[in-house]
Amino acid sequence: MSKRIKVALIGNPNTGKSSVFNLLTGLQQKTGNYPGITVEKKEGFCRLTKELSATIFDLPGTYSLNASSLDENVVIELLMNRKHEDFPDVAVIVADVENIKRNLLLFTQIKDLGIPSILVVNMSDRMWRKGISLDVEMMEQELNTKIVLTSTLKKEGIDTLKTQIANYNQLENSSCLDFRDIDPDYFTSLQKTFPNQSIYKLWLVITQDVNFANIDRNTIQSTNGDHTRSTSFLKRLQQRETIKRYQFINEVLKKSLQINREQATDFQSRLDRILTHRFWGYVIFFVILLTIFQAIYDWSGYPMDVIDSAFVSMSEWAKTNLPSWFVPKLIAEGIIPGLGGVVIFIPQIAILFVFISILEETGYMSRVVFLMDRVLRRFGLSGKSVVPLISGTACAIPAIMATRNIENWKERLITILVTPFTTCSARLPVYLILIALVIPDTRVLGANLQGLVLMGLYLLGFGMALAGAYVLQLVLKLPHKTAFVVEMPNYRIPILRNVGITVYSKTKSFVLEAGKIILAISVLLWVLASNGPSSSFGDAEAIVGQEQGLTQTELEQKISAYKLEQSYLGYVGKFIEPAIAPLGYDWKIGIAIVSSFAAREVFVGTLATIYNVGTDEEDTIKNRMADEVHADGKPVFTLASGMSLMIFYAFAMQCMSTLAIVRKETNSWKWPAIQLVVMTLVAYLAAFATFQVL
C-alpha cells in the first residue's frame, strides 16, 4: 500500500505558484473553502514514486508571516498547528528569480517553524535575459535547504522537484538565522517561561491574530518576566526582525547571485509606459474588451449550432422511441431541453475565460488594476476594489470573497454591495439569447452590432457599480482611505497548459453548478406545467378541438398553449403578470424571472422547459421565443421588451448564492436584504423606463 504525504505550496503573489501546482497535479484538482472560512482551498494529487504519492495544497499568496489579511492568517494558522488536518510534511516555497530577495523573507520565516522546506526558484528561463546567474550550491549551503530551478513555461525542473519532495525526510530542519538577537533578554525570558514551546511560534502567537497549543497571547505576555509588553514595543521588534532577516538575505545573495545589468533588457518598463498611459492605456484596454466580445460572437457560432442540433435530435429521439408515460416524457420535455439551454452556451463562456486567463497569465491584468485605480478613487472605492469588480465578470461569489484583501471595513462593505452589478458569466446566457432575438446580426463600422450591445451591457453594469459606490460613499461617509499598493508582475508568455486548466475548471464548474440547479428546477417546472388545478387542463383537447379550420400542427400548438395556461405554472405566471406587464413581459417571462432567482442562467433553461411542454415541435429555443405572441397577436419579444429584459437582468440581484455569500462575509442578514431590495427596485425602474421609451 502506497504512502501519501501532504505538501504545502507557499509563496508571494505572482511567483508562478499556481503554475507549479498545475504542473504537479494536472487535472487532478478540486477547490473548496477552508472549514468555516470563505478562503479558497485548492487541493491536488500527485504521484511521486511507485510507493509514494502526495496531496498538494496551493495556499493563498502571502508576502510574509506577518499577516495583514484573512488569506495570510490561513497560511500562518495552518503552518503553526501540527494537529491541523492539512498540516504539511514538507513546505515548497516558490520564489520568482527576479524578486528572490523579497521572496526569501518568507522562506527564512517558514524555516524557523521547523518544517522541512524546499526552495523553488521559478521562471529560471528568464535568467539569461535579465543577466542573472545563480550559484545554487552556495545558496543551498547558506540556507540549509534544497533548491530546485524550474521553468513552468518550458516544463523544466518539475521531475527534480518531485524527487526532492519524495526525499523530504533528508531535508535540514534547522533555522537559517537566530532572530532572537534583536532582543536577547526578552526572548530568553520568554523561552524560560515556556521551555517546551518553539520560540518562533510563541513570537507569532504574540504578534499575530492566531492561536497555537491553546496558549493565550495575553497569558504569554503577562507571565513574561517583564510583564505585559506594549503594542509599540512589539512593532519595533517586528521591524528589527525584518531588518535582521534582510541583512542575512543580503549576505547570502552577495555570495550566490550576480546580475549583469548591461545584459538585462528594459522591455518591461518601456511597455508599462504605454499600457499604463493616462490616455493610451484606456484606449488599449477598450480595444481589448471590444476584441473579447467580438470573439464571443464570431468564434462560437458553429459549435453552438452543433450543440443545439444535438440536443434537438436527442429530444426528438426520446419522444419518438420512449414510451408515453411520466418519466420518459419528463426526460424528453423537461430534462433534455433544460440542460440543452445551458450546454449550448459552453463555447461562449469558454471563450470568455480563455481571454481572462490569458490577461492574467501575461501580467496585463495587474496593469488594468493600476490603470483603473485612478478612476475608482473618485467614486470612493479602494484601489483594491478593482480586483473584485473585474473578477466579478466571471462570478460574483469568488469576487465578493476577494474583498477580504481590503483592510478598511467600510471600503470592503461598499465593494461587496456593488460587485453584483458587474456582469457575471451567469448573465451571459440570458444576454446571448435575448441579443440574438432582438438585435440584428449586422455590422456597424466593421464591428458586429450584437457584440457591441453585449459590451455595452458589461460597461453598463460596471457603470452602475461605480454609481452605487458613489452613493454609498455619501451615505456611509467613509472616514479614511487606505493606501493602494499593487505589484506589477513581469510580463510573461502565457502558458497554454495553465490557460487550458483554468478554462476547463471554470467552465466545468459553471456547467455542473448550473446543471444541478437546472435539473431540479426543470423537473419542478415540468411537473407544474403538466398538471393543473381545474378540469380545464384535462379537457384541453376537447375544448380546443371545437375550433374549426386548424391544421394538425396548429391544433397541437393550440392545445399545448391552452394546457400551459391552465396549469399550476400558468397560474403562478398569471398571478405576477400585472406587476410585470408595464415592463413588456407576459406571464411566461414572469415564470422564468421567478425561477431564475435560484441562478440567473436558469432563465434560459426555464424557457426551454416551458416552450417544450406537451408539443412535438422541436424548434430551437430562440425560434420558439421569436414565435411567441400576446393575445392581440403582437410579438412578445420585440426590441423594447428584449432591451427591457436585458436591463432588468443587468441590475437585478437574481442570485440566491450571492445573497448567501454576502450574508457570510458581512455576518448579517441586514446587508443582503438591503442589497436585494435596492437592486430589484433599481432593475424594475430601469426596465420600466427602457420599455416605455423604446
Q: What does the pLDDT average to over 343-358? A: 78
Q: What does the pLDDT average to over 363-367? A: 81
pLDDT above 70 (res 225):
no
| pLDDT band at 617; cut points 50, 70, 90 | very low
Q: What does the pLDDT average to over 17-35? A: 74
Q: Read off the pTM.
A: 0.63
> What is the per-residue pLDDT across 623-678, written as a single tens digit (0 to 9) for each?
777 777 777 778 878 889 889 999 999 998 877 767 777 887 787 888 888 998 99
For residue 576, the model assigns a pLDDT of 86
For residue 524, the model assigns a pLDDT of 77
pLDDT above 60 (res 483):
no
CATH among 3.90.600.10, 3.40.50.1000, 3.10.450.50, 3.40.50.300 for 3-170:
3.40.50.300
| Strongest mean pLDDT among 4-13, 203-212, 312-321, 510-519 | 4-13
For residue 69, the model assigns a pLDDT of 66
Q: What's the one-letter identity of residue 402?
A: A
> What is the per-residue pLDDT across 286-307, written as a single tens digit (0 to 9) for each?
888 778 767 776 787 788 788 8
> What is the per-residue pLDDT across 520-571, written as a single tens digit (0 to 9) for each?
766 777 788 778 888 877 777 777 776 666 677 667 767 776 777 788 877 8
> What is the per-residue pLDDT across 194-210, written as a single tens digit (0 to 9) for each?
888 888 888 888 887 65
Query: Percent of the chain scored above 70 by pLDDT?
Result: 82
- For residue 191, what are the CA distances in angstroms to 114, 152, 184, 213, 233? 16, 43, 10, 15, 18
**Maximal C-alpha separation, the chain:** 103
| pLDDT band at 220; cut points 50, 70, 90 | low
pLDDT above 90 (res 413):
no
DSSP string, 368-428: HHHHHHHHHGGGT--GGGHHHHHHTTT-HHHHHHGGGG--SHHHHHHHHHHGGGS--TTHH
Query: Percent of the chain scored above 90 by pLDDT?
Result: 14
Mean pLDDT, the chain, whole residue set? 79
Residues of the chain with CATH 3.40.50.300: 3-170
User: In 402-495, which ranges are continuous DSSP H helix?
Assistant: 409-418, 427-438, 449-476
For residue 383, the model assigns a pLDDT of 66
**523 contact partners, CB below 8 Å, separation of at least 6:** 330, 334, 335
> What is the per-residue pLDDT across 123-151, written as a single tens digit (0 to 9) for each?
777 777 777 888 889 998 989 899 999 88
Cα Rg of the chain, angstroms: 30
For residue 678, the model assigns a pLDDT of 93
| pLDDT band at 40; cut points 50, 70, 90 | low
Q: What does the pLDDT average to over 94-121? A: 90
Three-class secondary structure of residue 632 per DSSP: coil
For residue 350, the model assigns a pLDDT of 81
pLDDT above 80 (res 584):
yes
Number of Cβ within a 10 Å radius of residue 232: 8
For residue 107, the model assigns a pLDDT of 92
